[in-house]
Amino acid sequence: MSSFFPTASSAGGSDHGHRTLAEVGEFGLIDEITADLPAGPDVVIGPGDDGAVLAVDSPLVCSVDVLIQDVHFKPQWSSATDVGRKSVAVNVADIEAMGGTATAIVVGFAAPADTEERWALDFARGLRAECDTAGVSLVGGDVTRSAQIAISVTVLGTLDGRAPVRRDGARPGQVVALCGRVGWAAAGLAVLGRGFRSPRAAVQAQQVPEVPYGQGKVAALAGATSMIDISDGLLADLGHVAERSGVAIDLRSDAFEVAEPLQAVAAATGSDPLKLILTGGEDHALAATFAADRVPAGWTVIGAVHEGESAVTVDGASWEGEAGWNHYG
């Protein structure tokens, strides 16, 4: 199992400026960026063998995400460091949504042979930065050649003896609460798609999601009965909870604060800021259901669970238009 992580001296260093990956070679690249790889206490064997070994005392939670150039990121919009950070964040959010704690990731990295080595090293530097923020260890991976940049990240986590928080546990009489931002990444995408770079906060939200790390465990300990990572849009993702739980969910539009960057983007593009909030993806906030008196600090109640047809409504009415992102829609 090969793996990569930049050291302070190698990532973006002047000696590696314009060499391509074809000139560096697979093993040369690995050698450049595997030195001094930090490891968490549960890592028994890290990179260098055919597989990593982790010591865990409870069931593992596992998830995988794939990021493809010009689908999930555009090099002209996001730096390699941004892409590295995003690759970690979108995966760890899935473990958070299960009520778990992410501990380790493995990364598959594919790129054209004429990609500059500096891009790969900056990407790995972003991986390291977000791993540090999320509290996870990079324990292995692979590098190979492809027609365009493609990244696959598998994340492993633990439940520390708790039951996983699934999507099918919402019950009538409970409330729906949100932790994290929604609509910001969609606002950033709207801005970047028109060739602009402001509001900067919205653009940054599109480039690197701000995952509420640690809040999945907080929700689980508070008694969350269902939870989901908001990756494709709040309405779309809560639709999965409603369907799996066999309940109706109604959201209150007045529960959402429309931040100034969202107002600015909506005004500039002639759109509705509430649409950004309800249907915009890629923020990777967490939404969960709780008993009304069990909502933890830092979470905002945005709606309620009712008996009825499995659907998500807003202020008691059906939402007109797309509910979120669909890769094949």
67 vs 72: CA distance, rounded Å: 5
Strand partners, 101: 158
**What does the pLDDT look like over 187-218, one tens digit per residue?**
999 999 999 999 999 999 999 999 999 999 99
Is 325 annotated to bind a ligand? Reply is yes
Task: Name the CATH superfamily, with its identifier, for domain 14-158.
Answer: PurM-like, N-terminal domain (3.30.1330.10)
| Stretches in the chain below the pLDDT threshold 50 | 1-14, 327-329
229 is in an annotated binding site: yes
Residue 70: the pLDDT is 95
Q: Does the annotation place 231 within a ligand binding site?
A: yes
* Residues 6+ away with beta carbon under 8 Å from 286: 93, 96, 97, 178, 179, 180, 212, 215, 216, 219, 227, 228, 229, 230
Q: According to the annotation, is 232 in a ligand binding site?
A: yes
pLDDT at 56 (0 to 100): 76
Range list of H helices, 17-104: 21-24, 26-33, 80-97
Does 318 count as an annotated binding residue? no
Amino acid (1-letter code) at residue 225: T
- Per-residue model confidence (pLDDT) at position 53: 77
Q: Is 167 annotated as a binding residue?
A: yes
Does the global pTM surpass 0.75? yes
Query: Can you give the residue ranges of every domain in the chain?
Result: 14-158, 175-318
Residue 114 marked as a ligand binder:
no
pLDDT attached to residue 2: 41
Task: Give the model's pLDDT for residue 322.
Answer: 81
User: Was 141 annotated as part of a binding site?
Assistant: yes
pLDDT tens for residues 87-106?
Answer: 999 999 999 999 999 999 99
Domain 175-318: CATH superfamily is PurM-like C-terminal domain (3.90.650.10)
- CA distance linking residue 232 with residue 240, whole number of Å: 11
Give pLDDT, residue 25: 63
Q: How far is 29 from 79, CA to CA, in rounded Å?
A: 19
Question: What's phi and psi for 36, nearest 5 deg?
Answer: 60, 40
**Is 63 labelled as part of a ligand binding site?**
yes
Q: Are 14-158 and 175-318 in the same CATH fold? A: no
Instruction: At 121, list the tokens.
Output: 């090293």
Could you give phi then psi for residue 134, rounded to 5 degrees? -85, -15
